[in-house]
Amino acid sequence: MRHGRAGNGGRRRARAPTLCAMARPCAADSHLRDPENLRRWKRRCLDKGLELARRLEKLMNGLDVRLEDIRIGPENKPGERPIDRLRRYLDLVDGVVKSFDKGTYGRCRDCGQAIDAMRLDETAWSVRCARCQDKAIREGTV
């Protein structure tokens, strides 16, 4: 694997501060710059999006989709219909897919820190770090 040093000889001039400058430990986000990781996580997000879209289609066609099939994903909102939940889930995954192109993939949407690799391996479409996710659940702001 290529090391970061190779091939950026000309572009040394430090310009706008990167996210790194704001979100503390810089070394902690090297996994977000690993093309292999990114490829793997992107593929998983795309697959998930596809799966959710298919389910949504089935549901809209009146076919049975069990609630437990969409258990993982955004937290339950009281009284939310399965179809709305599924839409919300799909929106979330779509947003994560777009974040690959924007270069913001893997950043916690609340604190901006890198979401750790283990968490992304488990759920590639995580939008928060574990700490902020817990907090969001507690405060009902998921």
Binding site for Zn ion (CB under 5 A): 108, 110-111, 129, 132
**Which CB sits closer to Zn ion, 80 or 110?**
110
Tokens for 101, please give them.
């192109």
94 and 80 Cβ atoms separated by less than 8 Å:
no
Shortest Cβ 97–Zn ion spacing (Å): 20
Shortest Cβ 126–Zn ion spacing (Å): 10
| Cα(28)–Cα(116) distance, integer angstroms | 8
**Which CB sits closer to Zn ion, 83 or 104?**
104
Shortest Cβ 113–Zn ion spacing (Å): 5
Instruction: Give one DSSP letter per residue of 115-139, joined into a string.
Output: PPHHHHHH-TT--S-HHHHHHHHHH
**Which CB sits closer to Zn ion, 111 or 142?**
111
